[in-house]
Amino acid sequence: MSITIGIDVGTSGTKTLAIDEHGKILASASSEYPCSHPRPGWSEQDPELWWRATQETLRAVLSSGKFAPADVAGVGLSGQMHGSVFLDASGEVVRPALLWNDQRTAAQCAEIEDRAGGREALIKMVGNRAMTGFTAPKLLWVRKEEPANWERVRQVLLPKDYVRYRLTGAYATEVSDASGTLLLDVANRRWSRELLAKLDIDPALLPPCHESFEVSAQVSAIGSEATGLPVGTPVVGGGGDQPAGAVGNGIVRPGVASATMGTSGVVFAHTDKPGFDPLGRLQRGCHAVPGAWHVMGVVLSAGGSLQWFRNELGKAEVELSRTQGIDPYLLLTAEAAIAGPGAEGLFFLPYLTGERSPHFDPDAKGGWIGLTVRHGRPHLIRAVLEGATYAMRDSLELIREMGSEIDHIRVSGGGARNALWKQIQADIYGCDVHTLNSTEGPAFGVALLAQVGTGGFATVPEACDATIMTLESTNVDHRAKAYYDKAYKVYQSLYQNLRGTFREISQLVEGGF
């Protein structure tokens, strides 16, 4: 058997799985960890948490008894994009990593666009506008705000690449994840020396950049002792969680898009050319497929909005989960089903950590709008599900506007595991949605990339065709669609009407009491 392992270093936990050459999942394990928010809008994590979770899940998978560790042909790595891991000359972590949903770098984003010669010039260089979640502004923030830490920095890695370093001892990354740093020349699939020079960033701080299927390193003796993987096991480039998840969903040809409802929500489409939007309304990057690119829109708190509701307003459901093993999300969505489409005019803005696509506004705030005495918890929950989906539609509409013909949407993440949320997505997107035989997304995608990199398949599309199939389809309810089309226009107007108010609220918070 050709066994490969996929490891996905997520925001709330790490998942590891093993597949055979047919794509059958032989074993999987996951481990959760916390995220730190030391100030409003800040988001940090200790990279050691990722490494401990990787060790724990790898050992669980390797001890499953379904295969021998010696059967592992290769490993693929995926992870949350944009995070910044700062290492010193000895490879030790300098400070906690700044994550993708950290919003502290608005001033640095403006500085980057100014140094680049304007937004359009920046987009021509690296394919994207400066966004607060990206890696480059985090480097400038640490350089300005923490000069003592910056003096120690000798290497900057993305989250999954830190795990690669601990596993192999090698510094390396690959083009799909590097696209989200704002430092990669996306069109030419290499670091942008032009922008690095303009920002006064030493290129030596960045690791060598591979294609996603290429072998980047081998498991070291230290990595083997820590995890149980044999010394010399190949580790391929892998992918950022969204491009890797797209491979896991078979989004490797034009015309097919994925809508992933995780903590963040992502609408992702394959393109054969880099193509740039001078307004930078969507994120562009190299796909994990060689010679291909992608376009995607990101909702910062999609599934994260329902997770927030569960944690803060669903404590009874969480307790039932603890004592009786009942999934709290099933209880919450069952309650939401009591309210019909539109939740009787109640809207929810899912901007709990600011917003990326299409507003790029770190000051954006969440909230329910339209509350009346008729509304109860079912309406509140349903509005959260619908609000996150409206936000996803914002990105889908932009992808269509920019010329991508999308006639097939594959859904994954938490929003694909619930019948009500799948129906809401079909009706709001106005397109039938499909779930697949694998729901493991990024971890499955990088396991497939490892299959390609170690000779199991000739190409990434071939690997997807051999292992991925549609399991279930949810058809559009055209009556609900007609309602949602009208309601979506109202939803769009809410942010525009409240944008100035959101900024005033941020100023109040910054000023303190």
**Catalytic residue positions?**
241
Residue 280 zone, left/alpha/beta (φ > 0; ψ -120 to 50; rest): left
DSSP state of 229: P
- A 10 A CB-CB count for 393 gives 22
DSSP state of 127: S
Burial of 294 (0-12, 13-18, 19+ CB in 10 A): buried
Q: Report the half-sphere exposure of 507 (CA within 13 A, side-chain side).
A: 6
- Parallel, antiparallel, or unpaired for β 3-9 and 44-45? unpaired
* SS3 call for 278: coil
Amino acid at 294: H
Q: Cα 415 from chain centroid?
A: 14
Q: What CA–CA distance (Å, rounded) separates 492 from 494?
A: 6
Q: What CA–CA distance (Å, rounded) separates 437 from 448?
A: 14
Residue 199 token pair: 């920002």
Q: What CA–CA distance (Å, rounded) separates 116 from 141?
A: 17
Q: Cα 481 from chain centroid?
A: 28
81 is in an annotated binding site: yes
Q: What CA–CA distance (Å, rounded) separates 21 from 4?
A: 8
82 is in an annotated binding site: yes
Q: Which residues fall in the annotated binding site for substrate?
A: 81-82
Q: Which residues fall in the annotated binding site?
A: 81-82
